[in-house]
Amino acid sequence: MNQTFLIAIAAVILAPLAGGILSGIDRRLTARFQSRTGPPVMQPIYDILKLWAKEPMIAHKLQPLCVYIYLASAAVSVGLFFGQSDLLLIFFVQAVGAVFLVIGAMIVPSPYSQIGANRELLQILTYEPLIILVLSGIHMQTGSFEISKIYAMDKPLLLSLPLLFIVLGYALTIKLRKSPFDISASHHAHQELVRGVYTEYSGRMLALIEIAHLYEVVLILGLCSLFWSTGVIGMAVLLSITYFIEIIVDNVYARMNFRWMIKSVWSIGIILSVVNLVWLYIQNSGGKI
């Protein structure tokens, strides 16, 4: 128990660094795809440090509270995951932070910020049901939401939940704010002159938001790791391939509107989820419906 607690604390401390390195690799590979040299791998960390040195412009007195809750939610979610807690608890904790990010952008009398908040809320409503379906499939296969019991499985979940892993990939694309689903806070300069839901955040407040996003990157990749828990090498290969595919998708697709996002993600995601869940039910019931 003490060892698990120490691992969770270490994860909370090291997750932003790991997420920053992943983001830096992402930027470097993206630059290579576009025939550019690209920034240093540690550039996301440097950006956060530069933001931290700047004084924030507080557009509303409740904005800092929303940022702190968003950051705390992301950090606690990562701590709970590496502490091998309950998946449903982790899901609801991270959802609270996502909602407060929207609230912080919506309370500001700025049309750009409010439009970004509306788009962010649509993204949440799009990916949250998919994550619930993925967690339901994991429970059907393992009989538990406890991460410790999932990692104790002697057979990779990917073999029995391949379609749900694809569905989780849709959620991963939205959470990473990658094309074609980066409708609320694009990180590409050619997409927006302002950053939507992030428009009215600056200085240290924006640095804290960026740190929270790095926590989210680690958390969603942690969820992907559940699908290959029988070996470290297999898990590393799966996560590397998954993240690389996300980078490719980000570079080959243009951003779409929210209507296309909801229609495509819900239709494809729900169909794949239902097919995988029905197949899993038939398999577990010995072929009897």
Mean pLDDT of all residues in 32-47: 88
Per-residue pLDDT, 203: 87
pLDDT class of 172 with cuts at 50, 70, 90:
confident
CA angle centred on 210, ends 14 and 245, rounded to 5°: 80
Q: Is the pLDDT of residue 36 over 90?
A: no
Quick one: pLDDT at residue 55?
82
Rounded CA-CA distance 172/212 in Å is 15
**Sign of the CA dihedral with 152 first, then 153, 158, and 163 last:** negative
**pLDDT of amino acid 186:** 64
- Phi, psi (degrees; rounded to nearest 5) at 108: -90, 135
Give Cα separations from 47 to 116, 205, 250, 267 (angstroms): 22, 13, 21, 38
Q: DSSP 3-state assignment of 36?
A: coil
Residue 157 DSSP one-character state: G
Write the DSSP assignment of 158-202 as a string of letters: GGT-HHHHHHHHHHHHHHTT-TTS--SS---TTT-SS-GGGTT--
Per-residue HEC secondary structure of 194-260 comes to CCHHHCCCCHHHHHHHHHHHHHHHHHHHHHHHHHHCCCHHHHHHHHHHHHHHHHHHHHHCCCCCHHH
Interval 79-107 mean pLDDT: 91
Question: Domain extents for the chain?
Answer: 2-284
Q: Averaged over 162-182, what is the pLDDT?
A: 87
List pLDDT tens digits, range 115-124: 888 888 888 8
Give yes or no for a contact between 239 and 41, defined as CB atoms under 8 angstroms apart: no
| Dihedral sign from CA coordinates of 141, 145, 150, 153 | negative
pLDDT tens digits for range 207-256:
999 999 999 999 999 999 999 988 889 999 999 999 999 888 888 887 77
CA 140/CA 284 separation, integer angstroms: 9
Distance of alpha carbon 254 from alpha carbon 116, whole angstroms: 18
CA–CA separation, 101 and 281 (whole Å)? 37
Number of residues assigned to the chain: 289
CB contact at 8 A, 251 and 245: no
pLDDT the model gives residue 201: 84
Cα dihedral angle (7, 8, 11, 13), rounded to 10 degrees? Answer: -110
CA distance 187 to 189: 6
* Residue with tokens 């409503």, as numbered in its chain: 125
The whole-number pLDDT of residue 74 equals 94
pLDDT score of 183 more than 80: no
Q: Give the separation between CA 102 and CA 90, rounded to whole angstroms.
A: 19
